[in-house]
Structure 1
Amino acid sequence: MLKREESLTKIHLLATCDKCLKQKCARWKCVTCKQAFCENCKKGHVRKSIFKSHSFVNLFGSKDGTAEAVVDILCSCEVKGRISLYCTICNELICLDCITSNHNGHTFEKLETVNEQQRNKIQSITSEIEGIQIPAVNDLHERIQTWKAEHTITTKHLKDEVLRRNGEIKEQIDGWTKSLLMELDEFSKTEQRKVFDFQPRILKRNKRLIQERERLRLLAQSNDTHLLLQGVNASVRDWEPFDYPEMNDIQYLPGPDILSNFPSPLGSFMFTPRGTENGSISNSVSSGDQSLDKTVDHAFNFLVDEDESHGNSNGFSVDLSRITSLSIVSPDIIWIGDLRMKRLELVRITNDKSIHKLTQVNVNFLDFSIQKESECLWVSCVEDKSLSLFTRRGKRRAVNCFQSLLPTCVCITAADTVLLGLSEKRNLWVDKNSVRKIVEIEPPNTVLLEIERDQNGKLLFTFPLRCSVNTRTGGIIAIDSTGQTNGRLIMCDPRGHLKHIYTGETFHNFRKPFDPTGVTSVSTGNVVACDHSNETFHVLDSDGILLKVYRAVELDVEVPYSVACDGNGTFIVGNWPKTEEQGAKVFLLEESVFSASEICI
């Protein structure tokens, strides 16, 4: 059948115009004249008046496929006779002349018979195809309709569930908002009542202080004595609100009876006759003596004057907005850094209580630590996720990278190894693929110790913010930032085994969560952490037992944020001022303040 179709196609393409005798161009056949014409010859045939009534048939069929081409198909042999038979041996259409020549001895069939056989075969194949495909298509259509209906129902249920849960969440948020507003309103009213109650007490306090001052003056004038300060047990600045200090610890030296009955709410004083300090009695002073007035004023102002310079006497102003990290080079030279300004400064504290800048480095950092022997600074850089080494003059000497991990905190140990915090991202989001750990390395990249998980295999750190080493025991101390304004202290032994986790819950007198931002250790082995949110210093022993909590105001420190200690008596605090206009300060404290060995909360 295939050869027949090829033969028909070949004959069809070789159709010759009977008028101009051009091959492969005959397209039309005149039904009346029984001649084939090309397009041009057909137009010329129609123009003649005697042929206008002739009709033509398209040899290739009409455009709508309804008309049939009435044409004599010629054989491909040399005679070019009209085909009338089908050779079953060669599968070709032939003319009568081919019977005795090319197809001599072959078997033949009439064209009508072969045509009918092929038509029946095609119909049979079509029926089989329809019998197979139509049920499958119908089944698939039904399944699609079923899936569509189920999907519509599921979508509707999900939409209803989302709307219902949105309503529940909205109600819950509205309830929380209402509750918080009520609590805030109640807190505001309570604070207002405290202020109103406090105002008359302030006036009463001021009146008592004026009376006390006058009594001191009259006493000194009438008994020819002068006032010497022996010790202050309770200053006005440290009084609790609405209360006054106890007055049962006032001490006096032997003297006139009027002195023995003299009460004072200001503290313990010692009154001695004028001149007895040197073993001799000086001349008496009249009531109008100006030197006596100055003596009384000096003693009185030392006790009760709210002089702000006293609270900041050990603070040194710097040209940074805040001090997020610091490291001690020597007692008078320190590195300080401002995370917001992306700046490091090497400064000297001069004898005249001022700061002299020696070096400035502009770098986007998270933490840094000084190497005492070489006085080089190891800095955890954010931009290239590297641990970089800077000289004292601010030149970058070396860069260490850790497989795309971000160095978060850094501390140089006594053995000149580097204690380093690593995180894959700079955020607090932790999942199963997170990497949050502290490693000890020997430069450049030899890992000596790795702390990542607890005994249960869970991540120990949410974000390692700061790290340090106990100068006495060699234990590892780290600040784990668990939220924007809260964190905890993680203490490990020198081998990296977890010893204790301190969350600040031991000391409940806080309005805000425990928020450690700086940690160091002193020569006695005590650990000191500054709580930025509550403006306190927490002192713990090497086992994590809380020994003492200092409020920053007790140590004349404003809003502490970073701490550092060299183990030789120097203890430095960097602050984060409450307003940008104030500017950052460095505070010098005595290391012995944090050397308590017993619990004294």
Structure 2
Amino acid sequence: MAHSMSIRGAQIPLQCQLCEGSTNVKWKCKECELLMCQNCTEKIHPKFKMADMHHVVEIKNVGTNHQDQFQKPNRAKCKIHISQDYCIFCQTCDELVCPSCLTKSHQKHDLQEIDEIFTEDVKSLKRCNTELKNRFLDFYEKEIEKIEKIKVDNMDQLQMVKCKLEKQETKFMSALKSFKQTILEDIENKSSAKESVASTAKSTIQENIVDITNKLDVNTNVANTNDIENVHKTAKNARKWLASAREPVSIDLKVFKKLPDFFPEPIDENTLGTLFGHLYDRNEIPISLVEIYTSNTPSIDRLKVNIGKELWISDVPTKLLRRIRTNNSCTVSILQNFSDHQVFDMSLLSTQALIFTVYNNRNDLYVMIGNETKNFCSFAPLIPRAVHVSKSGLIYISTRDSETVFKKSDSSIRQIVKLDKDKKQDIVFECTGTSKVITNITRIRDGINCLYVVDALLPNLQGRIISLGKDRTLKWIYNGELAASKYNFVPSDLEVTSAGNIVLCDMLNDALHILAKDGTILHHILLSKLGIYGPCCLEIIQSDKMYIGCRQEETEETKNSNLYLVSLSEI
């Protein structure tokens, strides 16, 4: 398409300024200000364009705002031939070259004009800028907005809590004064009643004193006279009164009850928290009670879910081992009952056969087959304690020597042994002599490339949780100090969730601790809020369901323990 220009209304075709007569003018060189036809642009001008970096554009785009079509690179000197400018881009070598470079080192290479690569790079940078803005800058600016909103919300929450605290303080002090006044009025009323009884008794006694005093005076005065008739009459009346008078009765002190004493309650954090209030962490995992089953067992020291609603439970003090089934009526049915089975720890094989260790320092691991207890494996001369079967079927056993548990000597041995399907033993962790790495492993669970164990340090089972790497390294220790607890930390059982977190029960503090894989505490949950006390064992049966068995306190009255099913989300 030929272009033209308008002169006084007449359209005059544009002519090429490099050849004569051609009106097929389509291009313009911005540097030379030359109008060119297609033929000259392709054959003649490229020489100038290559050497001088001329910028040739279509005439139709001259004067438009397409800045990316007219933007041109600045002249740049060649790093090798400093007297010459870069004139072209070598795609093969991915570098700018000058005419000398072109003739010497870049023969038969793929070449591209500088302005074209420059234009492409400019467009690429603009596309990158667009992506940087849309993908990153806008994102981070929104994140800043979120943070600022969090800060504002945090300050608002802080002010609101401060306001509530001040109002609560006013209400608390008012209620405290009112309560004090109530107690004071009560004891004052009791004191007034006692005062009234004492006054009445005193008045009666005083009347008796006056009466006796008058009689004494009369008798004395008459005795001092010579009137025989009056003396005889008075003496006769005195004898008659004394003969009929009642013996004096002492005051009954029971009538005068002592006033009650005031015994101030200890003002500790629990008392203040109960009376005044406390902060509620809204991030705390919600826990709810699903069912309570009466187990017909004094205590539940260990439990394992068998199939469906069947469970194995054991009670150490009574040496009972039972297989039970939970019913819809929140009761349990006893399917099997074994006496004289003082189970220390137990687990289930892939065949659902129960394997367990016992007290009394026996060297064997036992298995329950039908109604019979058989030896599964011997660890003599060592004593097996904790037992755990992994999902892959490996059996982990903690063993120790037969010497005193908590006082180690140079000959002491503590091991964790792995059994394969052929019952071949392999020591995966060992601690000998007086080393304090492990003392008395009572529970084992496996995680990803590690084992989690409960290590009891004292006879009262005060202890800690240890993570042991399968490369025989100690990874971390959790001793319960980060949780706000009233009593010593007594971890009695633990489970590993599908997310890799560790749930453990703290028996003395009636609590659950939830730990992350690195041993940091995520949540501390008081089970006493649900009426659950003395949690001794637990087992996760679904992603958010868990059984908790409890140990009863030692009292004269034996009670049946309960089995609790709770829902614990986000574990």
Instruction: Compute the TM-score of the two structures, normalised by the length of structure 2.
Output: 0.48
Larger radius of gyration: 1
Query: TM-score, normalising length from structure 1?
Result: 0.46
Higher relative contact order (CA 8 A, sep 6+): 2
